[in-house]
Chain A
Amino acid sequence: MTEIHTMPIAEPVLEVRGLSAGYGKRAVVHEVDLTVRAGEIRVLLGHNGAGKTTLVRTVFGLLRPTSGTVRYRGEDITRRRCADNVKAGIALVPQGHGIFRSLTVRENLELGAYTAQDPAEIRVNRDAVMDLFPILRERAGQIAGTMSGGQQQMLAMGMALMHRPDVMILDEPSIGLAPNLVQRVMEAIAEVNRTLRMAVLMVEQNVVHALPIAQSVTVLRTGRKIYEGPPEPLGDRQYLMTLF
């Protein structure tokens, strides 16, 4: 568990310390530490049931932790409501259907900025999102549920970007997508990170596509952190096999 930093260390945006969480009596995440620094893409890897989704849902405030703390820009947000976290600048793109399927693309985007008040600002943000994902402008009037899986994933990300978060949490954006689409989604995430200088915490199982855009990696196994560091060592699949 050695951390290797080749770049100057940016300040932490999200700091998770000793977080344990689960469903009812079932503990799924055990005392996990995790830091996401400004402007970085941190990828959270692990096999099915390793606790990745539980971890990020707890960080976002959808689940109450059994112990541990979550800090956002130094402020303790451990038991805060989602709505407040959204306002403060955290966005979650949940697994699977992170959109409102029966609403149009435009409506989905507007709802992404639900906590924002200023209509002019919403419009500006919407234009920015549509510049980033031109397909969303093209399909603005379409019912979201009728778009392809890849387009839906773009929309889900677009919604998260609508209130200009400082950190975006993505829960398995590649799930259910064909390999070439996964590639495109990953490129989009890298671009968002680059152009908006936004920190990204991404849960993934798709190691092949996630590693190239990762700047740092955390690996969970059965709810515990077993690796933290740069992505490079994980390029060795044999090593990965032992981790999974």
Chain B
Amino acid sequence: MDLLIQLTLNGLFNGAHFALLAMGFALIFGTTGVVHFAYGPVYAVGAYAIWALAVLVGLPFWAAVLLGVALTAALGVGCYLFIYRPFEISGSPPFVVLVASLGLFIVMKNLIGIVFGTGVKTVDSVAYDVHFVGNAFFTTVQLGQVAAALLVGCGIALFLRASRYGKAIRAMADNREMATVIGIDTTRLSILVFALGSAVSAVAGSLVLLRDGLNPNMGFGAVFVAFVAVIVGGVGSLRGAVIAAFLLAFVQSLGMWQIPTEWQNTIVFVVLFGFLLARPSGIVRRA
């Protein structure tokens, strides 16, 4: 019973983490159609930047996070402006952009390794508590993940619903040509979603830094989970991506009841495959 509670809790916290990653990726992919593989390393760079600012520079953790999030947003925009946009302008087929993003992926991932080394990076200056539910436990950082997912989720939802730019983003994701027809500047919006999506990933990165620490390989798992969540959730639906992220986390976590921990990716794959066969349009279908 305790094990079940622990696994459920883990599912919840991991789900929050996955949801953050999925929201960032969904914003970018859903709006611009760019399969942004480098989203993974961008997220990793963000987390490393926060680590460097907090540990090497010695900034207070909150300041490091703020600055790190801003840097990550800038890096995301850089990816768009210097790598993807030139391809868009020259009318390259989608697969060319996809391959370019793979190239960017290995460049950034290995640059992290070169600059920061391959060892695990942690922050020790931030103390947090451990809470117990029976014999099951969780930490304040994990609570923070749920809070961040909630806050960011609500924030994005509000932004997309209520603001002029938010509506324009939804419009562009819905029908890009029609967005142009009513006078929306799609380049400016692309910059905006790359900034937003990358910033969201850095928030997730800051919490993972506290929870698990960092390694240069963390990007692949992140973009993989985010991509799968977006496909399973239904391309173009932020809500679907969040639901799918939690679903993946719970299946993974509860799967561990019977299946050894190491098979996490395989579990994700089974969920993905089942969904693609049974419901190719994802959990939330577009109108």
Contact = CB atoms under 8 A, between A and B. Distances in A.
B279 interface: no
A115 B287 contact: no
A102 B181 contact: no
A87 B178 contact: no
Contacts, number: 65
Interface in B167-190: 167-168, 170-171, 174-175, 177-178, 180-185
Contact of A87 (B164, B183, B184): B183
B180 A101 contact: no
A115 B171 CA distance: 14
Contact of B182 (A86, A102, A143): A86
Contacts of A111: 167-168, 171, 182, 184
Contacts of B287: 101-102, 143-146
Contacts of A62: 177, 180-181
Interface residues of A, number: 26
Contacts of B168: 111, 114
A99 B178 contact: yes
B15 interface: no
A101 B176 CA distance: 12
Interface residues of B, number: 18
A141 B287 CA distance: 14
Nearest to A101: B287
A199 to B, nearest CB: 18
Interface string A91-135: 010100111111100010011101100000000000000000000
B182 A114 contact: yes
A102 B236 CA distance: 10
Contacts of B170: 100, 102-103, 107
Given A82-B181, A143-B287, A146-B287, A110 B167 contact: yes
Nearest to B186: A83
Given A83-B185, A111-B168, A114-B168, A102 B180 contact: no
A146 B286 CA distance: 11
A159 interface: yes
B171 A100 contact: yes
A103 B175 CA distance: 11
Contacts of B171: 100, 103, 111
Interface in B238-270: none
A94 B178 contact: yes
Nearest to B180: A82
A92 B183 CA distance: 11
30 contacts: A60-B181, A62-B177, A62-B180, A82-B181, A82-B183, A83-B180, A83-B184, A83-B185, A94-B181, A98-B178, A98-B181, A99-B175, A99-B178, A100-B170, A100-B171, A100-B174, A100-B175, A101-B287, A102-B286, A102-B287, A103-B171, A103-B174, A111-B168, A114-B164, A114-B168, A114-B182, A114-B183, A114-B184, A144-B287, A145-B286
Interface of A: 60, 62, 82-83, 86-87, 92, 94, 97-103, 107, 110-112, 114-115, 143-146, 159
In the A-B complex, the 5 residue pairs with the closest CB atoms:
A145-B287, A86-B183, A83-B183, A115-B183, A100-B174
